[in-house]
């Protein structure tokens, strides 16, 4: 089980999210991954290392190539739960905003 903290911080970077988006289409080599980004292969490799250490992707060796793919389990398990929590809390606090506004206008009426 990778660290939840490292998975979360790995997901906080837009380039790494874009890499995950590309990998969602299927296994890809580092060279192919680097193409759409204005970035060198070593820079992409650094991002891949972060994603790998966070348990979000898996790399295998195929000659000189190192194709990457999504590590489904790590990503799904953590994100499903955190997204469920985020959704529930966001809805709660949006409702609380409304309630606080009502409390304020009632307080002003009674003064």
Residues forming the site for other proteins (CB under 8 A): 1, 3-5, 8, 11, 14, 17-18, 20-22, 24, 36-37, 77, 79-93, 95-101, 103-104
CA dihedral for 51, 43, 30, 24, sign (positive or negative): positive
Rounded distance, CA 84 to CA 65, Å?
Answer: 37
Rounded distance, CA 79 to CA 4, Å?
Answer: 10
Residue 65 or 96 with smaller CB distance to other proteins: 96
Residue 61 or 111 with smaller CB distance to other proteins: 111
Residue 26 or 63 with smaller CB distance to other proteins: 26
In the bound complex, what is the minimum distance in angstroms from residue 9's beta carbon to other proteins?
9
In the bound complex, what is the minimum distance in angstroms from residue 11's beta carbon to other proteins?
7
Tokens, residue 100: 């606080």
Tokens, residue 37: 């980004």
């Amino acid at each position: 089980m990778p660290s939840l903290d490292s998975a979360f911080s790995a997901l906080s970077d837009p380039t790494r999210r874009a890499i995950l988006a590309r990998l969602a289409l299927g296994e890809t080599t580092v060279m192919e991954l680097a193409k759409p980004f204005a970035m060198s292969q070593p820079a992409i490799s650094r991002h891949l290392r972060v994603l790998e250490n966070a348990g979000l992707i898996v790399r295998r060796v195929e000659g000189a190539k190192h194709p990457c793919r999504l590590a489904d389990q790590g990503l799904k398990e953590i994100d499903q739960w955190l997204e469920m929590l985020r959704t529930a809390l966001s809805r709660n606090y949006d409702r609380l905003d409304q309630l606080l506004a009502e409390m304020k206008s009632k307080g002003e009426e009674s003064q």
